[in-house]
Amino acid sequence: MEQTLTLTPKRVTDTRVEMSQVMEPGDANFLGKVFGGTILAKIDLCAYATASRFSGTICVTASFDRVDFLEPIEVGELVSFVGFVSYAGRTSVEVTIEVYAENILKGVKRHTNTARVTMVAIRDNRPTPVPKLVCETRDDKIRFLEGKLRRELRFRHREERQRIFDEYAAATDAELDELLQHERLS
Ligand SMILES: CC(C)(COP(=O)(O)OP(=O)(O)OC[C@H]1O[C@@H](n2cnc3c(N)ncnc32)[C@H](O)[C@@H]1OP(=O)(O)O)[C@@H](O)C(=O)NCCC(=O)NCCS
């Protein structure tokens, strides 16, 4: 696919991508509701379209934040994925995707998920700079600051978790037993 080098700053509003699809019987899990994996795949696709439109390059998925499935989505519902760039780093962007499910017969629409996906712009098989994100509204500005904070907390959390995992790996059997004993009592 041809890629254009475009580092012209872009407004949040110009990054918005909306994709909608009716959920089919093939999307159902063993309870007849829509598979979580179907929704995650569409979130990923929407994040790809949003980040690639923003950067003018092919983007790849670097990470997914936690996605909670608060209520089931039914087969036959129209599911919409609305993506926009909420934070832009040097070569990566955070895309926020809001998911809505609509019962098209009753005309009732509900918000089912919010997902945040970090996408990295790629050129010549290497991460490449993305344009600056222009935050015009108060919401844009707050979301940008939240995205920056989420990124910092992600890094800090990963380091902290790895430090503790390394301690577990280096512990003696007696120390592990003591830790387990403590967990059972607490
Ligand atoms: C994502 C990827 C390109 C990063 O490559 P890398 O050599 O680590 O690149 P860098 O260290 O230069 O980081 C590039 C950017 O990605 C971000 N990044 C890297 N790994 C990340 C992760 N796990 N989560 C979030 N952001 C990440 C960095 O913070 C950096 O952002 P910035 O430029 O805005 O500061 C590389 O790990 C990759 O190709 N992963 C596989 C992607 C893929 O195939 N996805 C689909 C899976 S099926």
Tell me: the pLDDT tens digits for 76-115?
Answer: 999 999 999 999 999 999 999 999 999 999 999 999 999 9
Long-range contact list for 110-114, CB < 8 A, 24+ apart?
110/71, 112/69, 112/70, 112/71, 112/73, 112/79, 113/39, 113/43, 113/67, 113/68, 113/69, 113/70
Q: Which residues lie closer than 8 Å to 86 by C-beta, 6 or more apart? A: 12, 94, 95, 96, 116, 143, 144, 146, 147
Q: Which residues lie closer than 8 Å to 107 by C-beta, 6 or more apart? A: none
Q: Which residue has the higher pLDDT, 142 or 6?
A: 142
For residues 109 and 102, the answer to whether their CB atoms sit within 8 Å is yes
94 vs 127: CA distance, rounded Å: 15
Quote the mean pLDDT of the chain: 95
Alpha-helical (H) ranges within the chain are: 36-55, 138-170, 173-185
* Most ligand 1 atoms within 8 A of CB, residue of 63, 66, 92, 150 to mutate: 92
Quote the ligand 1 centre to 106 CA distance (angstroms): 43
**In the structure, what pLDDT confidence band is assigned to residue 122 with cuts at 50, 70 and 90?**
very high
Percent of residues, the chain, with pLDDT higher than 90:
92
Q: What is the mean pLDDT of residues 46-60?
A: 97
Quote the ligand 1 centre to 34 CA distance (angstroms): 30
Q: Is the pTM of this model over 0.85?
A: yes
Residue 2 has pLDDT above 90, yes or no: no
Residue 4 has pLDDT above 70, yes or no: no
Q: What is the mean pLDDT of residues 165-172?
A: 98
Amino acid 184: pLDDT: 78
Residue 3 has pLDDT above 70, yes or no: no
Q: What is the mean pLDDT of residues 36-46?
A: 97
Q: What is the mean pLDDT of residues 147-173?
A: 97
- Ligand 1 atom 9 nearest Cα: 127
Closest alpha carbon to 133 in 11, 47, 4, 8: 11
For residues 156 and 111, the answer to whether their CB atoms sit within 8 Å is no
- Ligand 1 atom 5 nearest Cα: 127
Amino acid 5: pLDDT: 60
For residues 99 and 114, the answer to whether their CB atoms sit within 8 Å is yes
Amino acid 111: pLDDT: 96
